[in-house]
Structure 1
Amino acid sequence: MADQSLRVPIAAGKRAWIAMLVTGVLVWMLAAGVTALTGDAILIPTLFLIGSFLVPVTVVTFALARLDDCRLTTNVVLKGFLAAGTIGVVVSAVTEIYLLPTGAGPVGNALGFFGVGAIEEVSKGAVLVAVAWRVPQRTVHGGMVLGATVGAGFAAFESTGYAFWAYIQHTNDHPELTILQTEVSRAMLAPFGHLTWTALLGGALFAAAAPPKGGFRVTRRVIWTFLGVSALHGAWDASYGWGIWITQGLTGNGWIADWPDGTYWEGSPTQREQWVFQGTYDGTLAVVALLGVVWVILSWRHARHAATSAPGAGPPINAPDRQP
């Protein structure tokens, strides 16, 4: 029988992300309360960092506890997180400025939303390939976990920028509340955005480079996965404009034959329009998030089935020891 004394530390390590999340939420709430009570602007960066990095760092903690299962190393995981949040974010921003159209209209708006999705997914995919170039054993599960980590790094640094912008816009009007609203919203949505999309892309890239195939290649699965996650990304970004477009159509203001964007409010929306908008906007995000989550689950299960049904394959790496 296997040594049962080893099971508790391993199980506890794999649940460390729960402790990280709970502790982070408590510290975040404490920092927000102290900042609001004292009005000390020195504490504002603390709110930026805790709120923006809490969920992404929790994902990294989750990944670090599963290195053996996914054939990854600590070095690769941490590099992926940091490179995506720094190089990936900067390269994406510069590329979007110089490549995407700035004109309005259906074509310009559509290319803007889906162009951002494509550019950011390319940037994150490039980071993933760069940090995993020398990973000797590439599995689909490993690619998905590393992809989620890369997406987490991108989301963390991007959320910090959004929080800083919210602070600038409301410096003299309860900035702490505005920062919290921005960070809570992005923290709740983070698992269904960058983390999901890059996990899917990472799984496809690792599948194309899994032994005995060798190095990274552009396969049909990689192409279709990239197009799919770019479409999800673009639809996610366009959801706000779609919410306004649908609201104005439903509330009697008329349907506008144009690509929806965030500038269609004519004057201040009424309370009824705000309620309808919130429902349509949340519903659109929920549909896009559900599509991504279902895709991740199916990809994970398919990879597990393929690994266990392959000729000569043994039990899963993290399967319990069933020896008598």
Structure 2
Amino acid sequence: MSVKNEKELGPVSEAISRLSRVGDADGLGQFNFSRFFGGINKPHTEEEVEKSLIVGTSSTTPSINEVDLEYPQPWLFFRLIIGSIILFYGFVFAYEQFENSNLIPGVIITGSFAVPISTLFLFFELNIRRNIHLWQVLRLVLFGGLLSLLIALLVFENTDFLEDSMGASVAGLVEEPAKLGALLLLMKGKRKYPYILNGLLLGASVGCGFAAFESAGYALNVGLYSRSFDSLVENIQMRGLLSPFAHIVWSGVAGAALWRVKKAGDFYLGLLQKKEFYMPFGIIVACHAIWNSTFSLPFMGKYIICGVVSWIIALSLVNLGIKQIASEKKGEFIFRR
């Protein structure tokens, strides 16, 4: 779209258009909101569920010629959201009926992981190359979540001056590089997953672990200090509601942007200087900093705006990822020799 055409758009459409081209991206492609979520309303069999989950092995990864280039219509994630919410409120109901403290870990674990894991499966479904199996995703959720938290805490311990000057906003400068660093360390030497859409899923996996473990920690603290079960549940509900717009999508963007410039090669610091990486990464760092800032807008406007901006960047990378696979399907060489 030309600058002239952008000026003919309304201010919101123009902003979306510009955001979707950050870092020389190519817009949102064939993305359509109603069609994107259209798969939710369609009936799906248990066999389809199994086929969606059993991918990424030597026998279940399709050849490049078998990859469907049609824009994905994720649906499995929604089933997981419904199921995990039922599970969470089942624990809440059980505690309210029996007031048995042994149920509280179940409340915290199911509540903290419910929406993050469900959101992660949205990214799992967006990986149309279908070359990453669930074990790899789970490994990054658990070990990536732990490692990124350790890296972030180590940096926080040695950068008190940043927190003194920036307050809670410093989390954007610390936690986003920490999650990306954890992803690089855990994926070092693994060249099986070179695509942009792979980076999106792998990054989101680390972000999911970080978000879930962090939420569990916050819930535990609220429960201990307030001694109120209702306050604990309210904290879990709010963080669950906001989680699809925060750590998971932020880390997904970081992973996709880096995988875009790595092109199946080894990581080196010069990659961070490429605008295809640092422009989308800079935006999600800024979104994280604003998210944690004292600045506020009515009706949770700050979180909505940051979340929408982050998802526009993510969907622009989905478009690039689909185009990358389409190029390979045409026989073009898309990775480094």
- Please classify the TM superposition score into its range, dividing by the shorter chain length: 0.7 to 0.9
The CA distance in 2 between the partners of 1:138 and 1:70, in whole Å, is: 12
Q: Secondary structure at the match of 2:129?
A: helix
Name the counterpart of 2:289: 234
Name the counterpart of 2:261: 208
Q: 1:300 aligns with which of 308, 318, 324?
A: 318
Query: Unaligned 5+ residue runs, structure 1?
Result: 1-6, 244-278, 315-324
Letter in 1 for 2:47: P
Name the counterpart of 1:283: 301
Name the counterpart of 2:194: 138
Q: 1:164 aligns with which of 220, 244, 267?
A: 220
Letter in 2 for 1:46: G
Name the counterpart of 2:35: none
The CA distance in 2 between the partners of 1:137 and 1:177, in whole Å, is: 43
Is 1:148 the counterpart of 2:201? The answer is no
Using a 3 Å threshold, how does the CA distance of structure 1 residues 126 and 30 change in structure 2: closer, same or farther? same
The CA distance in 1 between the partners of 2:93 and 2:329, in whole Å, is: 58
Using a 3 Å threshold, how does the CA distance of structure 1 residues 281 and 90 change in structure 2: closer, same or farther? farther
Is 1:181 the counterpart of 2:239? The answer is no
The question of whether the paired residues in 2 share the 8 Å contact of 1:76 and 1:131 is answered with: no
TM-score, normalised on structure 1? 0.73
Name the counterpart of 2:134: 74
Question: Per chain length, whose mean CA-contact separation is higher, i.e. which structure has more relative contact order (CA < 8 Å, sep 6+)?
Answer: 2
Using a 3 Å threshold, how does the CA distance of structure 1 residues 85 and 31 change in structure 2: closer, same or farther? same
The question of whether the paired residues in 1 share the 8 Å contact of 2:163 and 2:170 is answered with: no
Count of paired positions: 261
Using a 3 Å threshold, how does the CA distance of structure 1 residues 144 and 12 change in structure 2: closer, same or farther? same
User: Which whole-Å deviations, capped at 9, do the CAs of 1:150-189 have from their partners, x for residues lacking one?
Assistant: 1111000000000001101211xxx221111111111111
Using a 3 Å threshold, how does the CA distance of structure 1 residues 8 and 169 change in structure 2: closer, same or farther? closer
- Superposition RMSD in Å: 2.5
Name the counterpart of 1:127: 182
Using a 3 Å threshold, how does the CA distance of structure 1 residues 48 and 295 change in structure 2: closer, same or farther? same
Deviation at 1:102, TM superposition (A): 7.0
Deviation at 1:129, TM superposition (A): 1.3
Which range moves more in the overlay, 45-54 or 202-211? 202-211
Is 1:224 the counterpart of 2:292? The answer is no
Q: Secondary structure at the match of 1:101?
A: helix
Larger Rg: 1
User: Which whole-Å deviations, capped at 9, do the CAs of 1:74-113 have from their partners, x for residues lacking one?
Assistant: 3421221112221211221232132132775xxx1x3x34
The CA distance in 2 between the partners of 1:123 and 1:285, in whole Å, is: 22
Using a 3 Å threshold, how does the CA distance of structure 1 residues 152 and 308 change in structure 2: closer, same or farther? same
Letter in 2 for 1:9: E
Using a 3 Å threshold, how does the CA distance of structure 1 residues 117 and 11 change in structure 2: closer, same or farther? same
The CA distance in 1 between the partners of 2:203 and 2:163, in whole Å, is: 33
The question of whether the paired residues in 2 share the 8 Å contact of 1:67 and 1:73 is answered with: no
The question of whether the paired residues in 2 share the 8 Å contact of 1:113 and 1:235 is answered with: no
Using a 3 Å threshold, how does the CA distance of structure 1 residues 296 and 232 change in structure 2: closer, same or farther? same
Name the counterpart of 2:152: 92
The CA distance in 2 between the partners of 1:132 and 1:164, in whole Å, is: 31
Using a 3 Å threshold, how does the CA distance of structure 1 residues 229 and 67 change in structure 2: closer, same or farther? closer
Q: Secondary structure at the match of 1:69?
A: coil
What fraction of aligned residue pairs are identical, expressed as a percent? Answer: 20
The question of whether the paired residues in 1 share the 8 Å contact of 2:196 and 2:256 is answered with: yes
Using a 3 Å threshold, how does the CA distance of structure 1 residues 70 and 232 change in structure 2: closer, same or farther? farther
Q: Secondary structure at the match of 2:295?
A: helix
Deviation at 1:310, TM superposition (A): 5.8
TM-score, normalised on structure 2? 0.70
Which range moves more in the overlay, 125-134 or 193-202? 125-134
Using a 3 Å threshold, how does the CA distance of structure 1 residues 303 and 16 change in structure 2: closer, same or farther? closer
The CA distance in 1 between the partners of 2:162 and 2:194, in whole Å, is: 40
